[in-house]
Structure 1
Amino acid sequence: MVEAERGLRLEGVAIALGGQRLVALDTLIRPGETLTVMGPSGSGKSTLLAAITGTLAPAFTLSGRVRLDGVDITHMPTEARRVGILFQDELLFPHLSVGGNLAFGLRPHVRGRAERRARIEEALEAIGLAGFFDRDPATLSGGQRARVALMRMLLSEPCALLLDEAFSKLDATLRGQIRELVFDTARDQGLPVLQVTHDISDAEAAQGRQHLL
């Protein structure tokens, strides 16, 4: 596959509601690159992400194509798209341990209890939470929850990463730490990143292109 085909391509993507166009975007986000889409509440930022993940509400109409590493994913089921997303809430399952939450992210090809446990223990060590397998998520700090949510998403082996106001609920110090972790990880793994936010500091931290709605 040629290099130009790699990444997340929004090919003439336009989203409308009731005949009124909300979002129009035509761009390629290359591996390791971040595009930040900014705009006020109600401008269609989260709607754009829903179109990419396959969760767009029926009231909206979508035209154009979404391609990931050259593959047209526009009409694929959500679980087949290999697109990871982080929200402003970590959305950890309260009835599962930290290890159980991470196990939820593992892909089906990771089989056997021993192999799955080893993968999770390795992931916990990578985010500085070695020994936290059996911990209740309710006992974690905000930064620890954010790291678990990030690692759960990464264990699903995504080919692209979406950020939906992912840092907006973190305090200033923690926000800087988690932003650095997310963007450094995306660059290291060669993931194209589409971030939507209303905060210019998030856009600046991404060190990538910006698009205003």
Structure 2
Amino acid sequence: MNHRHHLELRHIRITLDDHCLVELDARVGPGEVLTVMGPSGSGKSTLLAFLAGFLSEAFDATGRVLLDGQDITPFPPEKRGMGLLFQDPLLFPHLSVAGNLRFGLPPASPDKAERVEQALAQIGLESFGDRDPDTLSGGQKARVALMRLLLSNPCAVLLDEPFSKLDTHLRHEMRQLVFDRLHDAGLPTLLVTHDHDDARDAGGQVIELS
């Protein structure tokens, strides 16, 4: 199942009222993490919105996003093959833990129940399928969100400070889990953060936005 995807950001330039927020040229190989750092307001989230396909029309953006050599810049968000992980796990409260994972699976997937069971085992939550997501700890919710993302078979992953709300002792463990999983899946990943520990654990190229 291991596809070798690569992501290319060509001459990306995003401006707001003639003020340049982001200028970026980068290539992210399979399983690599590119970290984009900067303080609040430096354009990190704006960059993610542009890559994911939902940048507000208030911004002017030029440049191209290529996934496996294909220009996906004109595509709507759902056709881009990008998986997103946010600060909040954003689990569906009306679905069980297993239901949340099932939601990640592409509609035509065979053996959904079995795949969900395997996914729960992979994140150490075997008996948690019927649980309400609200009963999970922060770390458990983060693991379910990560596994739901992986089950959706993305071609690239965008991480929007997904560790910032976790307790300090959980952060390192969660970073290892996330980066190991994305590396094993061969997924090019872009992480935006203001935390130098995130960048260090990601272990890839770091670009600082001023």
TM over 0.5: yes
Gaps of 5+ in 1: none
Percent identity over paired residues: 60
Q: Determine the structure 1 residue equivalent to 2:208.
A: 212
Whole-Å separation in 2 of the counterparts to 1:120 and 1:62: 39
Q: Deviations over 1:144-187 (max 9, x none)?
A: 10000000111110111111111001111110111000000111
Q: State the Cα distance separating 1:6 from its structure 2 match.
A: 4.7
What does the per-residue CA deviation read over 1:91-113, in whole Å, with 9 as the maximum and x for residues that have no partner?
Answer: 111111101111111112215xx
1:121 aligns with 2:120: no
2:162 aligned residue (163, 166, 177) = 166
Question: Following the alignment from structure 1 to structure 2, what is the Cα–Cα distance between the partners of residues 146 and 6?
Answer: 24
CA distance in 2, matches of 1:108, 1:75: 24
Contact 1:7–1:29 at 8 Å: present in 2 too?
A: yes
CA drift of 1:202 comes to: 0.6
Instruction: Check whether the contact 1:6–1:70 (CA below 8 A) recurs between aligned residues.
Output: no
SS in 1 for 2:126: coil
TM-score, normalization by structure 1: 0.94
How far is 1:20 from its partner? 1.4
1:31: Cα distance to partner? 0.7
**Which residue matches 2:90?**
91
Partner of 1:12 in structure 2?
11
- Partners of 1:109 and 1:181 in 2: how far apart? 28
**Alignment coverage as a number of residue pairs:** 206
Listed as ranges, the gaps of 5+ residues in structure 2 are none
Residue 71 of structure 1 and its aligned partner are, at CA, apart by 1.2
3-state SS, counterpart of residue 175 of structure 1: helix
**2:184 matched to which residue of 1?**
188
Q: Measure, in 2, the Cα distance between the counterparts of 1:76 and 1:109.
A: 22
Pick from 140, 143, 149 the counterpart of residue 147 of structure 1: 143
Name the Cα RMSD after superposition: 1.2
> Following the alignment from structure 2 to structure 1, what is the Cα–Cα distance between the partners of residues 128 and 162?
23
- Deviation >2 Å, runs of 4+: none
After the TM superposition, which residues 53-92 of structure 1 pair with which residues of structure 2 at under 5 Å, given as runs?
A: 53-92=52-91
Contact 1:121/1:130 (CA < 8 Å) preserved in 2?
yes
Q: Distance in 1 between matches of 2:151 and 2:48?
A: 20
- Alpha-carbon separation, structure 2, partners of 1:126 and 1:164: 23
CA distance in 2, matches of 1:37, 1:162: 11
Query: Could you tell me the TM-score, scaled by structure 2's length?
Result: 0.95
Letter aligned with residue 11 of structure 2 = G
State whether residues 5 and 187 of structure 2, in contact with CA within 8 Å, keep that contact through their aligned partners in structure 1: no
